[in-house]
Amino acid sequence: MSALLSSLRGPQLVAHFQRRCGLRPLSAADPAERRCPEADGRAPVSTAGSPRERGKSESNGALNGAAIPQKKYKIENYFLYYLFLFAATLGQEVFYITFLPFCYWNIDPHVARRVINVWAVVMYIGQTSKDVLRWPRPPSPPVIKLEVRVDAEYGMPSTHAMAATAIPFTFLLATMNRYKYPFELGLLFALTICVLVSLSRIYTGMHTVLDVLCGIAITALLVTVSYPFWDAIETFQMKNCFAPVLALTLSFLLSINYPELDHWSTARGDTTNIVSAGGGAAVATWINYQWGLILEPLSAPPYEMPLVTPELLGRMVARFTIGIVIVFFARQAIKSVALAFVCKLAGVSPGDQEARKLLWVEVPYKYITYSCLGVVGLALCPAVHRYLSL
């Protein structure tokens, strides 16, 4: 068993998978014309040995525009390259800030609320586990690394794999008895997303096989254990007068008490974003219920799937476009105000990048920004949609 775990945790399986998928180191003997744009230094690949060293390099500005030695690579299978890069984005902020609101605005708020609750809890547990266990990411060489931003974070467990398990399977469980559709088709879709995103973390060289498997297993356990309580949690969020205070207080305490870092990384800030957005979403749920804005169908489930018509597609596009524009400008405005306010209290300059990494600067301004965005996305945007008869 120990030999198996050692193999799953080692970099050789990752490197072997990369080579099998057509991602290979670029040797000195390879002609220049075989180098892809990503391999000539424009897509940086970190070769630092440990998260601590990578964190120091980034904080010293080595990754902020300055050229550093890169391990170059060549791509022999561009289909898999772009497929896995796309899959990797399904675990990043750009996906969360678009898909989750889209689900709320255009699919079913009932389902979206459950997905957001589970996602926030799962991601917090995954992110904190990384900085408690402090298992390094697979080393390069032999692994080829295609990402830089999160390379300073630790690896165990893979939060991409956790999100890719939590979101589709929560969506499946929340809809299987609510809508009439082939369960097998939904299960196949959830499995496809989970496997694709998980493999992308191995392909990009950011996680070992054990990181990914543990991320999936932890999430499967959390979803299974929490499933019977989803309705009770939502009822509490809607009806209890203390629910908004509890949501905001708990999300702040969890963020500010994030495990102490031995080097700076994006982990604490990203976790604050997620937990705060979840807290803001809970506040929005309470607001919507208290103001009578949560509308449920008059009949009992299961419901027929709506017929997709050009009119329906047009309304969906309009809701999404208007909502994303509101969220984007709200994010820019709130972030600027929150950062200026927090920096003034802390006595530092908002333009000081190092000061923005301090605990009592980074966490409060991100907490304010994303708590407000949760309310904007799930309360203000739907109100605008109703006003515009969308």
| CA 347 to chain centroid | 31
Residues 57 and 68 sit within 8 Å (Cβ to Cβ): yes
Closest CA to 212 of 378, 84, 331: 84
- Residue 110 known to be catalytic: no
- Give the three-class secondary structure for 179: strand
Residues 376 and 370 sit within 8 Å (Cβ to Cβ): no
Contacts of residue 380, Cβ cutoff 8 Å, sequence gap at least 6: 326, 330
Closest CA to 84 of 20, 33, 130: 20
DSSP labels, 3-38: HHHHHHHSHHHHHHHHHHTTEEE--TTS-GGG--GG
- Of the CA atoms within 13 Å of residue 123, those in its CB half-sphere come to 28
Q: Which of 16, 207, 263, 385 is catalytic?
A: 207
Q: Which two tokens stand for residue 207?
A: 């996680």
- Give the three-class secondary structure for 75: strand
Q: How far apart are CA 51 and CA 67, in angstroms?
A: 19
- Give the three-class secondary structure for 63: coil
Alpha helix stretches (DSSP H) within 60-108: 78-89, 93-102
Q: Which residue has the tokens 């999160």?
A: 150
Residue type, 369: T
Q: How far apart are CA 107 and CA 139, in angstroms?
A: 42
Q: How far is CA 10 from CA 7, 27, 57, 154, in A?
A: 5, 23, 24, 14
- Residue 160 known to be catalytic: yes
Contacts of residue 322, Cβ cutoff 8 Å, sequence gap at least 6: 381, 384, 385, 388, 390
Q: How far apart are CA 244 and CA 241, in angstroms?
A: 7
Task: Give catalytic residues, as residue numbers.
Answer: 160, 207
